[in-house]
Amino acid sequence: MTETEVQLKRIHTKLQQLLKQHSALQKENSQLKEELHNVKKQAAAQDENTESLKQQVAVLKYSNGDMNEADKKEFEKKINLYVKEIDRCIVMLSQ
């Protein structure tokens, strides 16, 4: 073989290696994106769960009478916001 043929073969071999590496990196990237998506979903679910538990604690405190004045006012604000949101939804549904 001539030196040019040897160099071409070497370039061809390196190109094949790069293509394999590129393919492997693309696959890894896809897997990491999927994993990131799943982790974000889990984090959002945990946030919702935390908020729900906080609301349950507030309701329990209110029902037991363990709330101070500031907590009672905050709780009443949340209840009023929920009522306003429900009213808004009813208006939207009736249109």
Residues in CB range of 91: below 8 A, 6 or more apart: none
* Among 11-20, 54-63, 86-95, the range of highest mean pLDDT: 11-20
pLDDT tens sequence across 21-41: 999 999 999 999 999 999 999
State CA 74 to chain mean position distance.
28
pLDDT tens sequence across 46-83: 999 999 998 888 788 777 777 788 878 888 888 899 99
